[in-house]
Amino acid sequence: MVKTALLSAIFAAFLTAGSAQAETCRQALALGLDVSGSVDAREWQLQIEGLARALASPEVTRAFLAVEGAPVWITIYEWAGDASPRDLVPWVAIRSQDDLQDVQRKLRSLTRVPHGPGTAMGEGIRFGGARLSERPGCWRYTLDISADGRSNMGPRPERVRFEPNLSDVTINGLIVSTGSDTADAAAVTRELDGLERYFRGAVIKGYGAFVERAGSYHDYDRAMTRKLLKELQTLTIVWLDILPDQNGQN
């Protein structure tokens, strides 16, 4: 189709021109991990290791490195029920597989620290928005919030998500079942259905925003892999509508 061919040519020319100038930020991606009282030491470790494994996935690696000269910048933090979210991995541009491996090593070197028992999701979202504001000029801004329960303290996430520094940010969710070790499959599904409804009504926002589901923390790496692939393979491009001329030709 003429439209598709023309768009491809314009996009290629844009990247070629951009490569001669300053490097472009394709996407700023902030990952916020729930470490509230419902997440015990074993689950914390599964979450950290699951994220590291997701970042090591060949498909995710290819998605990160898909556009040369326009890297994805990533930062990772954890949040809980207090007012002190903790940075785990400061901002880093992913330009090579080595960069991704460095992030994995940083994650695996972490030591768990105590946090408050509550779930201040609004505070976690606000912290992520502040971090994203540190990366101006990116094509796309994405905030991920992982959690195994609803917010029960602090600012309400349904209000925080529309604060000014989050106006251009897409917020996605990754929800985790906490009863999967003892509950049957139907109970896990009911739990995740309820949590997904909450996330859709109070947490996620933006074009293409979605909620990914993990049946347990043992399934965290697979859920995170699916989520990262959806986010990294989504690049917003303004499609040009080529209208036919009076003779009906493109």
Which residues face 205 on adjacent strands? 171
Q: Where are the chain's structural domains?
A: 24-232
What pLDDT is recorded for position 21?
Answer: 54
Q: Is 109 exposed, middle or buried (0-12, 13-18, 19+ CB in 10 A)?
A: exposed
Q: pTM for this one?
A: 0.85
Any residues with CB less than 8 A from the CB of 93 and at least 6 apart, and which? 23, 25, 71, 72, 73, 99
What pLDDT is recorded for position 147?
Answer: 96
Angle (CA) 148 45 102, round 5°:
115
Q: Say if residues 74 and 31 touch (Cβ distance below 8 Å).
A: yes
What pLDDT is recorded for position 181?
Answer: 60
DSSP-derived secondary structure for 156-176: -HHHHTTSGGGTTEEEEEEEE
> Which architecture, in CATH terms, is 24-232?
3-Layer(aba) Sandwich (3.40)
- The tens place of each residue's pLDDT in the chain, 250 residues long, gives 434 343 343 344 445 444 445 789 999 999 999 999 889 999 999 999 999 999 999 999 999 999 999 999 999 999 998 777 999 999 999 999 999 999 999 999 999 988 878 899 999 999 999 999 999 999 999 999 999 999 999 999 999 999 999 999 999 999 999 876 666 889 999 999 999 999 999 999 999 999 999 999 999 999 999 999 999 986 544 333 333 444 444 4
